[in-house]
Structure 1
Amino acid sequence: MLFGALALVLALLDPHPWASYRRWLQVPTLGGLLGLMLAIQGIRDSGLVQHAAGALVARVHSLRALGLLLVTTTALLATVLTNDVSLFLIVPLTLTIGTLSNLPVARMAVLEALAVNAGSTLSPIGNPQNLLLWQHSQLPFLHFALAMLPVATVLFALVAVLALAWLPKGRMTLQPALVDGHPVGARLATGSLLALGLMVLAMENGLALTGAVTLVAAYALVARQVLGRIDWLLLATFAAIFLGLGHFAALPLIQHGLDRLAPDRPLTLFISGIAISQVISNVPATVLLLGHAHDAIALAVAVNVGGAGLAIGSLANLIALRLAKQPQGLRLFHRVSVPFLVMSAPLAYVVWRWMG
């Protein structure tokens, strides 16, 4: 609502031609996001991921091994199903396991929030900021992923070490039927996996909007319930962020201020991206800096690393904490996430600059 109000106020006080609003709205990115949301919701509704995750955890008997498995699964899912969807699948599963065992759910929620940020860093479709930067830069999918691989590796390695050090020792026994009880809709799962692959190909070739319209029509014909279950409000939120902050960043005073940050210098951009993410979250930070960063990968590194630290650094953090609903969850998150950012930021920067 705030970003929508900002867009409306700026449109009234500083009107521009329609072409400017279309550019700020990032229509190809929104189209790509819609197409991905449809395919991912189809995969989620099919029960495929829930079934696979349940089958895995039901066969692990060590608390640390189970915690590391959940963290790894969260990160891997985030690379293909986006960070928020990964959390919507794994955090409820973690809560279920927690009611049947001595798994420390509050710690796992923090670890899964950090893991989802690490995993989504790798993929152009892992989170909204990567999707925006990928479409804006028009880099090949594999080129973007390989460029982000060093940073994603550092972040995930730190999360894995934290999980092993923080989770208690001990054994745990679960009956598979208590966790692995999800039926799988094979036709919806197969079709949605195919839709996800086709959507990525469409975006790779600059046909994001065409791909999204095609998927909307296809799901309307064969799986209309999927259309009703995707998060339309989330899509509207990103549209408001893109439009409001895109216009805001184009104001002469803001342009001058952002230029003085010298975002063409890698270290300055890295620090600015992290700092701004801590105040307004990493997706709005990406929109704000987009027109001033000459290197899309450098900006992607900054805002992805900036997802840790304060909870507002990434919407994924807030989603994880909201889903877990643990007492003192926010305090526990900051006790871990702020030191995690302090440790991961210099390591990620050094590795990225060295391997880049």
Structure 2
Amino acid sequence: MLLNLVRPFARDRFLHLLLIVGVILSFIAPFQPQRWVHAIDWHTIITLAGLMMLTKGVELSGYFDVLGRRMVKRFDNERTLALFLVSAAALLSTFLINDVALFIIVPLTITLKKLCAIPINRLIIFEALAVNAGSMLTPIGNPQNILLWGRSGLSFGAFTWQMAPIALAIMLSLLVLCWFCFPNKKLVYHAHDKRHDWQPRLVLSCVAFYVIFIVALELKLEIWGLAVVAVGFLLLARRVLLSIDWSLLLVFMVMFIDVYLITQLPVLQHALAGINQLSTGGLFALGIGLSQFISNVPSTILLLNYVPASVLLAFAVNIGGFGLLPGSLANLIALRMANDRRIWIRFHYYSLPMLLWAAALGYGLLLLLKQI
């Protein structure tokens, strides 16, 4: 039992890489370990922990198997199924945080490989890209938009209106790409199409825990909400807690510390001193570039210290979620849930072209808006 809990930490190469980077950075940046704990966004960590438990509970209940079986039989070919899942991921991310959307759609997608022959890794990659695109639209779609919305002073509708052109253009582009990347071939169901048992009690418990957890998050009592969920599973289904990949939480903690150390580098702070003198293209490129290496949420926090919460900044940091894996934390969550090492490289075959295309679209729209 203990070995099962420790094994993910020992096998996690990405975690090991982050730890090595952190050690190197601690020799370059000012060494202030007492501040590292404050560099971690504990609200994000607690939210992820709660969602991981709730999602794993539904997964182990067998309900995803039942839901997946009912859903797949409504589609007769691979392309229409892919278009549906990608669209669903994008839609969910417009009114849920993109990370939450992934915790719903990816486990459901993974169960589909038990039912029919479809390229699961490719589907998960497109779902990760979809939540990055869909979450651009509204102020509550992702953490960086929440930050920008609060600073901008815009209404919900006004913020959504300014983001609509880029969000819709990228989402349409992604659906076109999806059309070409998934063939119009008939779905082949596995022969052992037997009835799957599921546990309604565990599913209903997960729903109840979810409501409690969301209310606790709204009331800023997230630690108590997490405690209720954890104790509930400890009493009802202990195997849920033992089946979770807890190393993912440590990955995020180390990533937050690494980002903090990067932002403390004297060379970076000196370079950012003249940021308000940059041209439109320069600031746009900086927002995208920073996001590639320190993720778009920390990039937003950092850049808001120097520039206003403009539509230019909003376009840049949201587009920065594409490209390299660290661009968006949603990328990391989706790929980790796939539990397949091959997906890490393959993700970039689609995400890097999407970054270039989204950057071109975004910059073109900015120039157009500037002329209006």
TM-score, normalised relative to structure 1: 0.72
Whether the 8 Å CA contact 2:136–2:145 is kept in 1: the answer is: no
Which of 55, 58, 63 is the aligned partner of 2:73? Answer: 58
Which residue in the other structure is 2:232 paired with?
218
Deviation at 1:233, TM superposition (A): 0.9
Deviation at 1:190, TM superposition (A): 2.4
Instruction: List aligned pairs for 1:119-198, cutoff 5 A.
Output: 119=134, 121=136, 130-131=142-143, 134=146, 143=156, 147=160, 150=164, 151-172=166-187, 174=189, 178=193, 182-198=196-212
- For residues 190-226 of structure 1, the C-alpha deviation after alignment (integer angstroms, 9 at most, x for no partner) is 2323333333333333333332233323332333222
Q: Which amino acid aligns with 1:10?
A: S
Q: Secondary structure at the match of 2:273?
A: helix
Distance (Å, rounded) in 2 between the aligned partners of 1:149 and 1:47? 38
Deviation at 1:60, TM superposition (A): 1.3
Q: Secondary structure at the match of 1:206?
A: coil
Which of 22, 25, 30 is the aligned partner of 1:14? Answer: 30
Which residue in the other structure is 1:302 paired with?
316
Deviation at 1:61, TM superposition (A): 1.3
Which of 65, 78, 82 is the aligned partner of 2:100? Answer: 82
Distance change >3 Å, CA 263–CA 309, structure 1 → 2: farther
Whether the 8 Å CA contact 2:144–2:317 is kept in 1: the answer is: no
Q: Which amino acid aligns with 1:323?
A: D
Deviation at 1:235, TM superposition (A): 0.8
Unaligned runs of 5+ in 1: none
Q: Which amino acid aligns with 2:100?
A: T
The alignment status of 1:258 with 2:258, answered yes or no, reads no
Distance (Å, rounded) in 2 between the aligned partners of 1:87 and 1:12? 41
Q: Secondary structure at the match of 1:295?
A: coil
Deviation at 1:115, TM superposition (A): 2.5
Q: Which amino acid aligns with 1:315?
A: L
Distance (Å, rounded) in 2 between the aligned partners of 1:50 and 1:123? 32
Which residue in the other structure is 1:36 paired with?
51
Whether the 8 Å CA contact 1:135–1:203 is kept in 2: the answer is: no
Q: Which amino acid aligns with 1:206?
A: K
Deviation at 1:245, TM superposition (A): 1.9
- For residues 64-105 of structure 1, the C-alpha deviation after alignment (integer angstroms, 9 at most, x for no partner) is 322212323444566466365457425534544663xxx566
Whether the 8 Å CA contact 1:144–1:297 is kept in 2: the answer is: no
Which residue in the other structure is 1:26 paired with?
41
Distance change >3 Å, CA 55–CA 264, structure 1 → 2: farther
Distance change >3 Å, CA 231–CA 265, structure 1 → 2: farther
Count of residue pairs the alignment pairs up: 342
Distance (Å, rounded) in 2 between the aligned partners of 1:270 and 1:202? 37
Which 10-residue stretch deviates more, 228-237 or 213-222?
213-222
Q: Which amino acid aligns with 2:340?
A: L
Distance change >3 Å, CA 230–CA 289, structure 1 → 2: farther
Which residue in the other structure is 1:341 paired with?
355
Whether the 8 Å CA contact 1:29–1:208 is kept in 2: the answer is: no
Whether the 8 Å CA contact 1:84–1:319 is kept in 2: the answer is: no
**Percent identity (aligned):** 30
Which of 114, 119, 127 is the aligned partner of 2:129? Answer: 114
Which residue in the other structure is 1:315 paired with?
332
Q: Secondary structure at the match of 2:227?
A: helix
Q: Which amino acid aligns with 2:217?
A: M
Distance (Å, rounded) in 1 between the aligned partners of 2:47 and 2:342? 31
Distance (Å, rounded) in 2 between the aligned partners of 1:183 and 1:296? 52
Deviation at 1:263, TM superposition (A): 9.8
Q: Secondary structure at the match of 1:45?
A: helix
Which 10-residue stretch deviates more, 34-43 or 85-94?
85-94
Deviation at 1:254, TM superposition (A): 2.7
Deviation at 1:270, TM superposition (A): 4.1
Distance change >3 Å, CA 260–CA 346, structure 1 → 2: same
Distance change >3 Å, CA 96–CA 283, structure 1 → 2: farther
Q: Secondary structure at the match of 2:322?
A: coil
Distance (Å, rounded) in 2 between the aligned partners of 1:176 and 1:302? 48
The alignment status of 1:278 with 2:292, answered yes or no, reads yes
Q: Secondary structure at the match of 1:82?
A: helix
Whether the 8 Å CA contact 1:122–1:149 is kept in 2: the answer is: yes
